[in-house]
Amino acid sequence: LSLLLPALLLLLLPLSPGRGGAATAAKVAVIPPIMFESHLYIFQRLAGELHARGHDVVFVVSEGRELPPSPHVRLHRYRGLFSSRQADEFLQEKVQNIFSGRLTSLQLLSILEQYERNCDVMVGDRDLRRRLEAERFDLLLIDPNEMCGFVWAHLLGVRYAVLSTGLWFPAEIGAPAPLAYVPEFNSELTDDMGPLERARNAVVYAMSRLGTHWLILPRFDAVIRRHWRSGGERRPEKGEAAAAVAPMPMAQIIAGTDFWMLCTDAALEFPRPTLPHVAYVGGVLTKPAGPLPTDLASWADAAGDVGFVIVSFGAGVKYLSEELSLKLAGAFARLPHKVLWRYFGEKPHNLGNNTRLVEWLPQNDLLGHVGVRAFVTHGGLNGVYEAVYHGVPVVGMPLFGDHYDTMTRVHAKGMGLKMHWDRMTQDDLYNAIVDVTSVP
């Protein structure tokens, strides 16, 4: 897929003069989300592949966003609301609120409000606006998690494509969605629905459309209206209707996207109608396993025939609740396998001798090790596709966002088991891990 993505994008990029006069190079802008580092990983991989083919890639990020030095991208900085540290602290606060029992929807709404505020600041930065206009980009690449990308595409007047890092397949792009067998995002349903499930699916679909058109998009419509004339957009010429240069509604901007690349795959997704300008590109980060660091290689090899279990809740979830940590630690201690757990915070008092805590682990390389037996995770798409790529069964405890839909598909496809972190017992988790490691 690292080869497929650039090839798909090349279909959109107009040929422009490159070095030596060859019409090969194009200039691509990326506006990554202001939080959720896992999304950034995908765009960094794509930037590397595009750069290797001679294209110029520009990331638009805040001054406090920490990015490792890379020859693959240029950066345009602006004074945003969050540094990397502040974004992480804000996200961890929301995760803790979810663990404490507060409504997940309210936490996601709070995150949306920060996206809107940051978009207003970013678009209102006159210096940034001038710099981006001067670049004359051939294409702007959008993550729909960062709706401000659509705002910038309209204000700059450039072609734009979407790389959706989640399972979002919005009805707003015009794809048919027969509710009898196409589960709506966040419904936690499969394609096998009875009358009650279909009714539930219809309700979730209606709520999604209302939320999108009355709660989400109007926020960014307002940003466009506030800044439409601030950057010097042209006025109507003689004989031209004023509407021709009036700001376009967000719904129309989204529908006008040239190309949609969805981070899903037929191996995981349920069958559904699609459109000619939609492509499945799931598993962007999957690759063969590399060598492990010496200490982890020794640890993994020492597991022998019993093997080991990998536990990670991704870059976005550092601190689990005490109750959940104790459930996990207790279940892991009963396993015959060794356990490597990416963990932050105070060590659980019931941690078993078979369990090792680390703050970082080379996830893909461990999943490709011959000794791995299972992957315990929150159900993030990147990790799930790495597990599927290496043939490792998954035990998932979704927390928010597309985690629930991802694990619904993993469970339905027989690739693992979906658990509910707030309802499961220690025995439930132990039995689930035993199940996926012992049943072919």
Reported CATH class of domain 294-438: alpha beta
pLDDT value for 35 = 78
The parts of the chain modelled with pLDDT lower than 70 are 1-24, 103, 167-170, 229-245, 440
pLDDT value for 69 = 80
Tens digit of each residue's pLDDT (9 = 90 or more) over 362-415: 999 999 999 999 999 999 999 999 999 999 999 999 988 889 999 999 999 999
Per-domain residue ranges of the chain: 27-226+247-280, 294-438
Task: Report the predicted TM-score, pTM, of the whole model to 2 decimal places.
Answer: 0.88
Identify the CA nearest to 5 among candidates 243, 144, 164. 164
> SS3 string of 367-422?
HCCCCEEEEEECCCHHHHHHHHHHCCCEEECCCCCCHHHHHHHHHHCCCEEECCCC
Question: For the purposes of burial, counting CB atoms within 10 Å of the CB of 397, is it exposed (0-12), middle (13-18) or buried (19 or more)?
Answer: buried
Count helices and strands (H / E) in the chain. Answer: 15, 15
Tens digit of each residue's pLDDT (9 = 90 or more) over 305-352: 999 999 999 877 888 889 999 999 999 999 999 999 999 989 999 999
pLDDT value for 110 = 80
pLDDT value for 316 = 76
CATH 3.40.50 fits 27-226+247-280, yes or no: yes
SS3 99: helix
Q: Do 27-226+247-280 and 294-438 have matching folds?
A: yes
